[in-house]
Chains A and B, each alone.
Chain A
Amino acid sequence: MNLLLIFISAAVVNNYVLTYFLGLCPFVGVSKKIGPAVSMGLATTFVMTMTATVTWLIYHLILVPLKLEFLQIVSFILVIASLVQLVEMFVRKVSKPLYDALGIYLPLITTNCAILGLALFMVMKQYDFIEGIIFGFGAGAGFTLAIVIMAGIRTQLELADVPEPFKGAGITMITAGCLALAFMGFAGLI
């Protein structure tokens, strides 16, 4: 039950994008179409789960015993950067269409705040190993949920008569605001 709550909390109640503002670059950049949005969401979920696993190990097995907690930013980011670059190379090799669809945002997963944020939050909340992984997975699922909903809305908005200055980022932000308003309904769920 506890794990379920952690998952729901990370996925909906404290949705990464809509309440912590993490992972906004890809959220804005890759939500124009459903297909890429789904792949981005899945890629991020994958990286997030992996990150949660690896950073938990590094933090608790290396940094804490050596009393090097102050190195967390540097070491986490190093781990994440390498991990993402590996994923990038892998995707590029395996699926060119996927690589093309994600475009420059794959390297930007590195700088996806959601991922480092995830690691930092995980440490802050003092989750144990399994909880950490669930937390990472839930956060990824929440990110995927938000970005796919957003992509659906934006596909529809492409046919809409949005006022010129609001086209693109403006209306995306406003839509995100409305979504955030809607997600407030989940408050108190846990």
Chain B
Amino acid sequence: MDISSIFYAIITMGVLGFVFSAGLSIASKKLSVKEDPRITKIIDLLPGANCGACGYAGCAAMAEALVSGKAEPANCPVANSENLSKIAEILGLEVTEKERKVAVVLCQGDTNNQKKKAEYLGVQTCLAAHLVGGGPRACNWGCIGYGDCIRACPFDAIHMSENGLPVVDREKCTGCGKCVEACPRNIIELHPISRHVFVLCKNRDNPKLARSVCKTACISCGICERATGGKGFKVINNLAEVDYDLYTKEPVLPTDKCPTKCIVIVGNPGET
């Protein structure tokens, strides 16, 4: 190889390089689309589960919404507070600490407690059973037991007990609400982790009917309401409800007084 070919090579590549880079830099100016660099940073901080709990199509969509000010970091129920505050920092927002929510299954109607109504022979999902005949168990309000909530959980935080009742792992639960959506009977609700007293029943049938389908149904006897002097429990439409606003921190828990044991303490006081 002689000097001239090296020379030609350098010249050629130089010219080519110059022509194309000039073209590109002009094009990049003419055709540039402004993209907020914060979006990628925020995507990195979001959990990336694309669970949709924030109401957007996924973490990337959420990031865009955050940058455009349509959403707040707190709308993501899944991300940990550290990342949320980092996102807030990027956005220049103050983030308010919010209490973690977890899912609670408001039913105790497993196969021991709930009566069996009939043999169900259709598609083995709660929703399908709910829409056709109501599934094999007798209570029209309670758990069907085919585990739609379990399949819906993106965090593996809900499992089926031996007797066919979903159990929430309160540590793993992020409060994304997928199970709440999945349950056709609406027996799963999100509650702040500091709440421990629950009426684990959703049956609004008359007491006779309720008792006939499930051992642990609320029979709206009103003992809980009387025991707390109306400050804590109220029976509305055949069902006792906890009034969390009025509920004092150290209540006289009527758990032992409830004749069907449907008032229960869930979780350990003090957990976060």
Contact, chains A and B (beta carbon distance below 8 A): yes
Interface of A is mostly: helix
A71 with B9: CB separation less than 8 A: yes
Cβ of B3 within 8 Å of any chain A Cβ, yes or no, is no
A93 to chain B, nearest CB (A): 4
User: A78: which of B16, B28, B33 is its contact (CB, 8 Å)?
Assistant: B16
B20 with A71: CB separation less than 8 A: no
Contact flag A90-B20 (CB < 8 Å), given A67-B5, A71-B13: no
Cβ of A1 within 8 Å of any chain B Cβ, yes or no, is no
**What 1/0 flags go to B203-233 for Cβ under 8 Å of A?**
0000000000000000000000000000000
Cβ of A155 within 8 Å of any chain B Cβ, yes or no, is no
Within 8 A of B (CB), among A135-165: none
A85 with B24: CB separation less than 8 A: yes
B20 with A62: CB separation less than 8 A: no
Chain B: which residue is nearest A86 at the CB level? B27
Cβ of B80 within 8 Å of any chain A Cβ, yes or no, is no
A79 with B31: CB separation less than 8 A: no
Q: B24 to chain A: which residues have CB within 8 Å?
A: 82, 85-86
A78 with B9: CB separation less than 8 A: no
Q: B23 to chain A: which residues have CB within 8 Å?
A: 82, 86
Cβ of B17 within 8 Å of any chain A Cβ, yes or no, is yes
Q: How distant is the Cα of A86 from the Cα of B16 in the complex, in angstroms?
A: 15
Contact flag A68-B20 (CB < 8 Å), given A89-B28, A90-B31, A92-B31: no
Contact flag A89-B5 (CB < 8 Å), given A62-B12, A68-B12, A78-B20: no
Within 8 A of B (CB), among A70-93: 71, 74-75, 78-79, 82, 85-86, 89-90, 92-93
Ranked nearest first, the 10 interchain pairs of A and B with the lowest CB-CB distance are: A82-B20, A89-B31, A93-B31, A66-B8, A92-B33, A89-B27, A86-B27, A68-B9, A82-B24, A71-B9
